[in-house]
Amino acid sequence: MKPRTAMLADLQGAVKKEKMKGSTILILMDENTPHDAEDIKTFHRSTGTSCLATAAITGKLPRTYDRGADNTCIDLAFGCDKVLEALVGLQYEPFYSNGVYDHRGLILDLNIQKLLGGACA
């Protein structure tokens, strides 16, 4: 099994376990692949999570790393329905605004009252 496949399988198992306990799920990750890659879509379907960037941003997602030739958004946040309902906004910092990192910072604006009002279904 490839390391990426193993990581997603492990994460999928952990998310399912936490959801069964009623936990609210919020995952931030540098996924090193486009948000609409087939393995990421499978992860969302199997865990009941959504990509918060595609929910908050209309149109093409911005490029989030400053290497390579393509304009791919690879730094994303995933959440359960409760997080999606609490999402007020999402934006990315400019490149290098927070140091010498080649990835853009991700800023989530969440309604804390909605988020803490109960567990994910």
DSSP 61-118: PPP-BSSSSS----EEEEE-HHHHHHEEEEEEPPTTTTSS-SB--EEEEE-HHHHTSS
pTM: 0.84
Per-residue pLDDT reduced to its tens digit, 82-121: 999 999 999 999 988 888 788 888 999 999 989 987 555 5
69 pLDDT above the threshold of 80: no
Condensed to tens digits (0 to 9), the pLDDT of residues 5-45 reads 898 999 999 999 999 999 999 999 887 888 888 988 999 99
CATH of domain 3-115: 3.60.10.10
Name the pLDDT band for 2 (thresholds 50, 70, 90). Answer: confident
- pLDDT higher than threshold 80 for residue 70: no
17 vs 2: which has the higher pLDDT = 17
